Structure formats: C-alpha cells, structure tokens
Amino acid sequence: GQNIDQPTEMTATEGAIVQINCTYQTSGFNGLFWYQQHAGEAPTFLSYNVLDGLEEKGRFSSFLSRSKGYSYLLLKELQMKDSASYLCAVLDSNYQLIWGAGTKLIIKP
Amino acid sequence: DGGITQSPKYLFRKEGQNVTLSCEQNLNHDAMYWYRQDPGQGLRLIYYSQIVNDFQKGDIAEGYSVSREKKESFPLTVTSAQKNPTAFYLCASSIEEYNEQFFGPGTRLTVL
C-alpha cells in the first residue's frame, strides 16, 4: 500500500526554527509537494521537490532524499501566522497525489 | 483575478437528499479535482478530470457523481447513496496532472 507519515502535531516558539518531517512509501515517485492549510481554509502551495537536495524559498526550505523516502519542511523565524497544518503529498507513478494527514503546527509567543 | 470559486461555503441538507457542490475556475487549467477532508485525515480523492467530457474515479467515488461539460466547471453531486457525506469538500485545479494544484475555499457540507 501507499503511505505517507508525518507527525500529528508540533509546538514551537515565535522566532525559532522548526523542522517538519515526512516519510513516504509509494508506488513510484514523480515529486513531493508541501502545502500549508490554515484551519477551515484551503491548502496553499509551498514547495515542490523532485530532485534530491534543498530548495529554499524565503523563510521556508524543503529537503528531499529519494533514496530514503524522506523530506522535511524547515520554517525559520517563526511567526504567529505560521500556525497552521502542513501537508506533505507525493506524486506517484500514475501522477496521482498521495496525501499525508498533515502536521498541525502550534506557535507560542 | 484568476482563481477557483466554490459555493456555498456552508451547506446543510437532510439525509436522503442529493446535493450539488459547484466549482468554477478561470485559470484555464485542464485538470480539475474533488477531494474530501475529514478531521485528522489527509485529503482523499473523489473524482478527477484531465479534459472536458472525461473524468475518472478516485479512491472514494462511491456515492458521488461529477460532470465536466465545460473546461471551467466541475460540479460534484453528493447522492443519497453516500453513507457519511458530512465533510469538508475541496475542489482543485492544475495546468496539467503533474503540476501543483490550486484549491478553492471549500464547502463544508453537513447532512442532518
């Protein structure tokens, strides 16, 4: 079966750095997406990785290791508005997106 | 402004009634998707369409139906055959099937 694992919930302090991990086991791999979803709202696209390595975009970075079936999203200089769920999704060999359950990130002052 | 619209944001229906959720996009995207999101779970794919007049079942298509008569529109009907229809429904679109997806604001359906 296809599976994506993320921690259910994480807590971090405003101004700090947090790393949200995602491990996956899918039938094939055509890329990995990270989305942010505020409560009651739609997911919004954050990043896409298809090759190994780190992609940096402002305060957010995403890392991929295809051999390990592993990715992480790194958030720096945390702000209260970063409190949200972060969804990891993998594009499988049939170009279907397989979604993780999401990690709820709580930012404390 | 380009984007995806879903209406209404909140919808209440009695058990046994069919209900249609609308999804419209003006992004000129070929692919469109319907997802269901339940608390504590990832998004689950109901139906998707890669081109007008064609659509495929996703993982949880039972009790749902769709149509794709226009590129811009992909309505979802939740039928009385769907055993547990209360959920948050999200519509999305992408340029092609392997690109990032853009989501509408969602419709929260409650069946009483």
What is the percent of chain A with per-residue pLDDT over 90, rounded to a whole number? 94
Chains A, B: CB pairs < 8 Å: 41
Indicate the SS3 state at residue A81.
helix
Q: Supply the pLDDT for residue A52.
A: 97
Query: Is residue A82 helix, strand or coil?
Result: helix
Whether pLDDT at B1 is above 90:
no
B44·A91 Cβ contact <8 A: no
Strand partners, B103: B92
Radius of gyration (Cα) for chain B, nearest Å? 13
Each residue of B24-70: pLDDT tens digit?
A: 999 999 999 999 999 878 899 999 999 999 999 999 999 999 999 99
The 3-state DSSP composition of chain A as helix, strand, coil percent (nearest 5) reads 5, 55, 40
Q: Which of B92, B96, B100 is nearest to B23 (CA)?
A: B92
Give residue-wise pLDDT tens across range B76-107.
Answer: 999 988 889 999 999 999 998 778 899 999 99
- Cα B54 to chain centroid distance, Å, stands at 15
Partner-chain contact B105 A100, CB within 8 Å: no
Calculate mean pLDDT across residues A15-35. Answer: 96
Nearest beta carbon to residue A42 from set B42, B90, B98: B90
d(CA B28, CA A103): 32
At residue B42, the pLDDT reads 85
pLDDT of residue B3: 93
